[in-house]
Amino acid sequence: MFFVIMAGGTGTRFWPESREKLPKQFLNITGSRTMLEETLARIGPILDDRSHAIVAVNCAHEQLTRELTSGTGCRVLTEPVGRNTAACIGLAAMHIRLIDADQPILVLPSDHFIARPGEFAAVLRAAGEAARDQAIVTIGATPTRPESGYGYIELGESVDAVAGSPAFKVRRFVEKPDVETASRFLASGNYLWNCGMFGFTARTILSEIKSCKPELFAGLERISAAIGTPRYQAVLDETYPTLESVSIDYAVMEKTRIPLLVFPGDFGWSDVGSWQAVYELGYGSQDEVGNQVTGQALPLDAKNNLIRSTTGRLVALLGVEGLAIVDTPDALLVTRLDRSQDVKKFPGLLKSGNRDDLV
C-alpha cells in the first residue's frame, strides 16, 4: 500500500506563525511535532514499506521536508508550483505506476487533526483494501455539529464491510452548505464530512484522469516519460506549470462513472482551518477558565483565550475574553477567535503594504 501525503499547501490562516516559507503543515499547531510529522506518525502502524510513503511538497519546502522526514525512509516528491490536487495526485500516481500500478494508494492531507489515530488507521486499512479492487474510495468523518465550513458526502446504499469497516456507495458530494442545510444533514444521519482523503490504484486514478481531463493526463504522461532520466527535472519544471489547476474532487470524483465507496470513520477529525479550530481542539495547557496556553501567560479576569507565544515572552491578559493572541519574533496577532477565519487576509494586506518580509 502506498501513501501520498499532500503537503503542498501555502496556508495563510495561521499567520503570523505560518509564513510562505513555513506553511501550516510545518507547524506544531496541534501537537508537539509538526502536522506533517503527526500525519506520518499516524500512518506508521499500517505502513509496510516506509519508502511507500511519499510526501508531495512545493519545491520551496523540499529542504525543510527532507529535514523533517530524515530517518523516516519516506520519499519527497516536489512540485515546481502548486497546481491543486488533481495534478499532484496524478504526478504521484505516475511515479507509483512505475513501481506497481495495482497497489492501493491512499492520499491524505498533511495538515489535518485526528483525535483517535487507532480508529483512523483501521478505516485507512479497510479503505486501502477496497481500493485494491479497482474501486475509488473516500473516507468520511462522522459529523458532530452542523458545520457549514466543510463539504459533505451523502451516503448511498450500504455495501459489504471491508476488514470490519462498514462501507457505502457515495450518492453525491455536496459543497459547503449553509448552516440550515448542514443542520438537516446532521439530523438525517446520512451525511459525512468530506475529509479530502481518497484511495485508488495508480491504474484506476490515471485512467479516470485520462477520461475526465485528457489534457492534464497528456501533460502528466510527458513528465512520466522523463522519470528516471536526467531530463526529469527540466521536463517537470517546464510542463507542470502548464497543467490545469483543478481539485481531484472536481476533476474526477464528481464525474467518474466508477462506483465510489465511502468509509465512515468516527476518529475525531478536524481540518484545523483557523485559530478558533485550534482553540476548540484544546491543545496546550488549559486553565479552569478556558485559557489555552502555549508559552507563558498570566491571565487576570481573562477567560476563553488562545495564547501562543513562541518568543519566550510573558503574555499578560486583563479582562479579555475570546481572543487569540499569537506572538512571534517579528509579528503579533490579536484577533477575536470568532473572526479568526479572516486571519488569511493579513498576508495579502502585508504584501500590498510592502511588508513581504512578514508574509
Q: Does residue 164 interact with a copy of itself by CB under 8 A?
A: no
Q: Does residue 343 interact with a copy of itself by CB under 8 A?
A: yes
Cα 46 → chain centroid? 19
Closest to a copy of itself by CB, 15 vs 198, is 15
Closest to a copy of itself by CB, 53 vs 307, is 307
Do the Cβ atoms of 53 and 5 come closer than 8 Å? Answer: yes
Which single residue is written with the C-alpha cell 452548505? 177
Q: Does residue 244 interact with a copy of itself by CB under 8 A?
A: no
Alpha-carbon torsion angle 310, 316, 322, 324, nearest 10: -20
Alpha-carbon torsion angle 331, 336, 342, 345, nearest 10: -30
The residues in 249-308 that bind a copy of itself, with binding defined as CB under 8 A, are 298, 300-301
Phi and psi at residue 333, to the nearest 5°:
-115, 130
Bridge partners, residue 296, by sequence: 314
Closest to a copy of itself by CB, 201 vs 340, is 340
Among 180, 329, 351, 356, binds a copy of itself (CB under 8 A): 329
Rounded Cα distance between 118 and 141, Å, is: 14
Among 57, 107, 141, 323, binds a copy of itself (CB under 8 A): 323
Task: Give the per-residue contact string, 3-22, with a copy of itself (x = CB under 8 A; - = no).
Answer: ------------xx------
Q: Does residue 351 interact with a copy of itself by CB under 8 A?
A: no
Q: Does residue 358 interact with a copy of itself by CB under 8 A?
A: yes
Q: Locate 113 and state its grid cell.
A: 487533526
Closest to a copy of itself by CB, 272 vs 325, is 325
The residues in 15-74 that bind a copy of itself, with binding defined as CB under 8 A, are 15-16
Which single residue is written with the C-alpha cell 506497481? 100
Rounded Cα distance between 331 and 356, Å, is: 12
Q: Which stretch binds a copy of itself (CB under 8 A): 50-58, 80-88, 179-187, 317-325?
A: 317-325
Among 108, 197, 325, 359, binds a copy of itself (CB under 8 A): 325
Cα-trace Rg, the chain: 21
Quote the least distance from Cβ 328 to a copy of itself, whole Å: 8
Which single residue is written with the C-alpha cell 508537539? 32
Bridge partners, residue 143, by sequence: none
Do the Cβ atoms of 152 and 185 come closer than 8 Å? Answer: yes
Q: Locate 61 and state its grid cell.
A: 519546502
Q: What is the sign, positive or negative, of the torsion defined by CA atoms of 283, 287, 292, 296?
A: negative
Q: Does residue 342 interact with a copy of itself by CB under 8 A?
A: yes
Q: How many residues bind a copy of itself (CB under 8 A)?
A: 38
Q: Which stretch binds a copy of itself (CB under 8 A): 53-61, 63-71, 129-137, 343-351?
A: 343-351
Quote the least distance from Cβ 349 to a copy of itself, whole Å: 6
- Cβ count near 115 (within 10 Å): 14
Among 113, 168, 267, 346, binds a copy of itself (CB under 8 A): 346
Closest to a copy of itself by CB, 47 vs 315, is 315
Among 330, 351, 354, 359, binds a copy of itself (CB under 8 A): 330
- Can you point out the beta strands (E) in 209-270? 260-265, 269-270
Q: Does residue 359 interact with a copy of itself by CB under 8 A?
A: no
Phi and psi at residue 66, to the nearest 5°:
-65, -40
| CA angle, 317 then 28 then 21, to 5° | 100
Q: Locate 43 and state its grid cell.
A: 500512518
Quote the least distance from Cβ 343 to a copy of itself, whole Å: 6
Task: Give the per-residue contact string, 103-122, with a copy of itself (x = CB under 8 A; - = no).
Answer: --------------------
Q: Give the interface with a copy of itself as residue ranges (CB under 8 A).
A: 15-16, 298, 300-301, 309, 312-320, 323, 325, 327, 329-336, 338-340, 342-343, 345-346, 349-350, 353, 355, 358
